[in-house]
Amino acid sequence: MTQRIAIVTGANGGLGESMCKALIGQGRKVIGTYVPGHDAAATSWQEKMKQQGFDIIIKAVDVSDYDACKRMLEEVESSEGSVDILVNNAGITRDAPLKKMQPDQWQAVIQTNLNSMFNMSQPIFEAMCSRGWGRIVNISSLNGQKGQFGQANYSAAKAGIYGFTKAIAQEGAKKGVTVNSISPGYIDTPMVRKVPENVLNSIVAGIPVGRLGQPEEIARAVVFLTADEAGFITGSNVSVNGGQYMA
Ligand code: CAA
């Protein structure tokens, strides 16, 4: 069987790196995207991955820009081949209570965390359907399920991902294309480490498992949902949150 090609957005971020490694472990060819303008950091990350035995092709793309995503996906299709697996992982936070939240904080999070789902999926969805196989995994969040003080923007974007996932899951179902979401809880990443220490301590105290999650624990769900054997799982959400919220 030919090697399947996977794209992971936000590849060199807290969760993305583990996802890339896990997908390579499954025999996938992996293309990781990073934020334009951060070429030096991305190249040195790619080198570090190579030294660890993981060959990752990297592409700069602004996931909030539809035309840029479409161009990058066309480039990948012509240089590497058709994209079979898409993990929409890139995301940002701009936390503030609503009374202090500014329009630019709202827009940035909606554009990067929600509009990116459309920007990356739309250009390749039809081709996946006509080839009769595809896997799309959208990274949502515990905070899209339950809401979070200080995250009106992030909670709204992450909740929007569920509707998007379930709608296109229906469109891909008869064509062999599955679409699912994963809702990570608080995982030990730079994003979570930005939360003020006293706030984070009280959050961890409310996690039944008693600790932050590890990025590999999210990657494990990505591998599960993108497996060749996962063709009957579509429109689902997998919560990976240490029991913090049982939806
Ligand atoms: N519930 C109720 N009250 C809360 C609260 C909560 N969860 N968090 C803070 N408050 C209260 C404080 O006790 C304080 O009250 P007083 O004014 O009465 O003392 C008040 O809110 C603080 O208000 P401020 O206007 O001063 O807020 P701030 O400008 O200091 O910012 C914040 C507050 C940005 C929301 C900060 O609390 C914060 O960063 N919270 C964490 C948000 C969070 O969990 N982000 C997740 C990031 S990781 C991620 O998103 C990954 C993922 O998917 C899980």
Cα distance between residue 21 and residue 220, in whole Å: 10
Domain membership of residue 247 (yes or no) is no
Low-confidence ranges of the chain (pLDDT < 50): none
Phi/psi region, residue 210 (left: phi>0; alpha: psi -120 to 50; beta: rest), is left
User: Ligand 1: does its nearest atom lie under 6 Å from the Cβ of 60?
Assistant: no
User: Ligand 1: does its nearest atom lie under 6 Å from the Cβ of 152?
Assistant: no
Per-residue pLDDT at 111: 98
Per-residue pLDDT at 163: 98
Distance between Cα 185 and ligand 1 center (Å): 16
Catalytic residue numbers, as ranges: 154
Domain membership of residue 240 (yes or no) is no
Per-residue pLDDT at 245: 97
Domain membership of residue 80 (yes or no) is yes
Q: Is the dihedral of CA 25, 82, 91, 55 positive or negative?
A: positive
Per-residue pLDDT at 247: 84
Per-residue pLDDT at 1: 72
User: Ligand 1: does its nearest atom lie under 6 Å from the Cβ of 192?
Assistant: yes
Which range marks the domain in which residue 42 is found? 5-235
Domain membership of residue 244 (yes or no) is no
